[in-house]
Amino acid sequence: MNTLSALERYNSLCDELDFFMHEENASLRSSSSEEVAHIDRKKQIVAKLHEALQGLRVSGPVKSAEHAASCEIRKRVLAKILKLLLLSRESEQLLLKNSHRTVAKFESTVPSPAKLIKTYKSHRSTTPAATQAEGSWVVW
C-alpha cells in the first residue's frame, strides 16, 4: 500500500469516527443510555485507526509526484482531528453532567431537625475546658 492510499484510508476512518462521535454526542444530549453499544463501537473504530496508523508507518515517505495531494489530505485530517477533540470535550462534559444527575438522585436524603439536634448533642464534648469556652471562639 502506498502512502497516498494509506492517508486516504486514514481520512475515511476519521470520517467514520466523526459520524460516530456526532451520533454519540446526540445520544448524550438526549440522555439515552446506550453506553455499552457506544463502547463496543468505539473499540472497533480505535482498532481500525490503529491498523491504519501501522499502514502509514509501513508505507514510507510520500513520492514527490504525490506530495501536493498528500499535503491536502493531511490538512483535512488535521482539521477533522481538531474538530473531534472539541466534540470529545463536549461529550465528556455531557457524560459528567449526566453522571452527576444519577449520583444526586441517590444522595437526596435530608436529615430531619431532630436528627441533627441528636447528632450535635452526641458529639458535644463534656470536658471543663469545652464548657468554659462555650459561647466563645475556640482555636483548634
What residue has cell string 486514514?
Answer: 10
pLDDT of residue 134: 53
Number of H helices, E strands in the chain: 5, 0
Please compute the mean of the pLDDT values over residues 19-37 and round it to a whole number: 81
Which of 61-70, 81-90, 131-140 is predicted most confidently?
Answer: 81-90
pLDDT over 90 for what percent of the chain?
23
23-32, 43-52, 105-114: least confidently modelled range: 105-114
pLDDT of residue 128: 54
Q: What is the 3-state secondary structure (H, E, C) of the chain?
A: CCHHHHHHHHHHHHHHHHHHHHHHHHHHHCCCCCHHHHHHHHHHHHHHHHHHHHHHHHHCCCCHHHHHHHHHHHHHHHHHHHHHHHHHHHHHHHHHHHHHHHHHHHCCCCCCHHHHHHHHHHHCCCCHHHHHCCCCCCCC
Other CB atoms within a 10 A radius of the CB of residue 61 amount to: 8
Domain locations along the chain: 3-108
DSSP 8-class letter at 41: H
pLDDT of residue 48: 92
- Residue 127 banded pLDDT, cuts 50, 70, 90: low
